[in-house]
Amino acid sequence: MWGGRFESEPAGAARDFTRSFPWDQRLYREDIVASQAHAAMLGARGIVSASDADALTAGLDRLLDELDDADGPDDVGDEDIHSYVERVLIERLGDPGRRLHTARSRNDQVATDMRLYVKGLTLRIGRALTDLMAALVDRAEPDTVAPGFTHLQSGQPVTLGHYLLAIQEMLSRDLDGCYQVFALADICPLGSGALAGVPYDIDREHAAHALHFSRISRNSMDAVADRDYLMALLNLGVGILLHLSRWAEDLVIWASPGYAMVDFDDAYATGSSIMPQKKNPDIAELVRGRTGTALGITTGMAATVKGVPLTYGLDLQEDKQALFRMEDLVLPTLGIMREAFATLRFDRERMAQMATAGHATATEIADYLVEQGAPFREAHEIAGRVVSAAIAAGVELHEVTDDELCAIDARLGPELRERLSAERSVARRDVPGGTAPRRVRLAVADAQGRIELERGRLRELAASGLPAALAPWE
């Protein structure tokens, strides 16, 4: 905003460089709803007349309906969404429109809009997370054996259900992060003015209540300067994508010819421009790539915030780009991973083969010896010698002969052999949090219950924590 202080209009290039409308037009609902709460408060306190407050409220209602029908405002050159809304009201209402900005600064106005948007976004992300979590749990087969890796080397057999529940656990922590970011954003800065508060007899609690904020900010300088809630949102987005990227990396490896444990549906894979045999897991690869993009966005915003002295600099206007770009990375990625996973095919026979490849049940030998009274370190060394013998003979562990086992250690009886199957190995890990089928069934039931509770919690927050006009989903 330039105002009467300036004798000439800004240069076209300067205006184009500084305007944020192409980004912050997404805030039109938040800006209109927050302006309605502000206008109602001004009327209730007698700061503007009741008739002017009514005219403002009605005008904002009409504008919101129009913009919803049009899927947002057209870009006709306004500096930002805030000046757009005010301009339209002035054009339609005259003086009442000019009174809307009484007892309000662009600084606390923007901060209020952004906090409302972040609250809604955390709930949208939360719902997308629960949808993907439910998809994982629905396919968490407790009896299908699969390989478990460390260092990308054969580790121990697990069940497919146990693996998928591990991904679900990662996403459940991200869901916890959604609630934490919601709480950080749930503070109303309206009434803080530019930085020092306002000299009007306002009722900050009135506006905060109308906007469903749980409390008002305690310090006007901090209220307009704070971007901690935004950085928390960006870090939440990065955390989600980091989890999805690790899963995507597994899927890329599992889909490769050397592993051949999963097959992407044709609708979620691509071919090659020159190699006709190729079926590329591009969805999973792009998840990895976009995680790097998200890291760049978050690091860039942190670098911006660290250099802005209290309270405000136009540097902070870059927060809109960071927020909306992160939204456009996280939500589509959660959605496409859910869709691609729903049609992903598991080769259970190949997974069973891979579950024991690389002598992955060798720990069973050590455990067997421990049960015979051997110290674990001694048992570990003997099991390693059995593995070496199998490698030398070019056979699997269960194919080492009884005589060879006895020659390594007399305690290695023939009954050991039946414990070396992947099925027996996973079944023996029957502890809370373990991979045994019985434990996986219990974990699936528990996860299903928790997901339904979380969906209810998200619905409750949507109803209690945001005005109806800002409902995060239809």
For residues 117 and 26, the answer to whether their CB atoms sit within 8 Å is yes
Catalytically annotated residues = 151, 272
Residue 96 and residue 112 in one domain: no
Is residue 409 domain-shared with residue 462, that is, in the same domain? no
Distance CA 423, CA 77 (A): 67
407 belongs to a structural domain: yes
Shared-domain flag, residues 120 and 11: no
Contact between 469 and 29 under an 8 Å Cβ cutoff? The reply is yes
Would you say residue 287 lies in a domain?
yes
Q: Let me know if residue 399 belongs to a domain.
A: yes
Same domain, residue pair 375 and 459: no
188 phi and psi angles, rounded to 5 deg? -90, 115
**Residues 375 and 461 placed together within one structural domain of the fold:** no
How far apart, in whole angstroms, are the C-alpha atoms of residue 367 and residue 106?
A: 68
CA distance 474 to 461: 14
Statement to judge: residues 171 and 270 lie in one domain: yes
Q: Flag whether 224 is in a domain.
A: yes
Residue 337 belongs to some domain of the structure: yes
Same domain as 118, residue 81: no
353: in domain? no
The per-residue pLDDT string of the chain (474 residues; one tens digit each, 9 = 90 and over) reads 556 666 667 777 877 787 888 999 999 999 999 999 999 999 999 999 999 999 999 999 999 999 999 999 999 889 999 999 999 999 999 999 999 999 999 999 999 999 999 999 999 999 999 999 999 999 999 999 999 999 999 999 999 999 999 999 999 999 999 999 999 999 999 999 999 999 999 999 999 999 999 999 999 999 999 999 999 999 999 999 999 999 999 999 999 999 999 999 999 998 888 888 888 999 999 999 999 999 999 999 999 999 999 999 988 999 999 999 999 999 999 999 999 999 999 999 999 999 999 999 999 999 999 998 999 999 999 999 999 999 999 998 988 998 899 899 989 988 898 889 999 999 999 999 999 999 999 999 999 999 999 999 999 999 999 999 999 986
CB-based contact 251:284 (threshold 8 Å)? yes
What pTM, to 2 d.p., does this model score?
0.94
Question: Which of residues 102, 128, 157 is at a domain's end?
Answer: 102
Same domain, 82 and 230: no
CATH number for position 66: 1.10.275.10
* Of the residues 102, 121, 143, the one at which a domain ends: 102
Each as own residue / partner, the long-range contacts of residues 324-328 (CB below 8 Å, 24 or more positions apart, any chain) are 324/23, 324/26, 325/297, 326/233, 326/234, 326/237, 326/294, 326/297, 326/298, 327/121, 327/237
Based on the fold, state whether residues 60 and 191 are members of the same structural domain: no
**436 assigned to some structural domain:** no
Query: In this structure, what token pair is assigned to residue 449?
Result: 């219950």
Task: Give the total number of structural domains in the chain.
Answer: 3
For residues 400 and 371, membership in a common domain is answered with yes
The DSSP 8-state label assigned to residue 344 in this structure reads P
Alpha-carbon dihedral angle through residues 285, 149, 142, 349, given to the nearest 10 degrees: 80
Through-space distance between the first and last CA atoms of the chain, rounded to whole angstroms: 35
Q: Tokens 């050590």 map to which residue?
A: 366
Judge if 340 and 372 occupy the same domain: no
- Residue 17: predicted pLDDT: 82
pLDDT of 273 reads 82
| 30 and 146 belong to one structural domain | no
Domain that holds residue 116: 107-195+215-347+442-470
Whether 425 is covered by a domain: the verdict is no
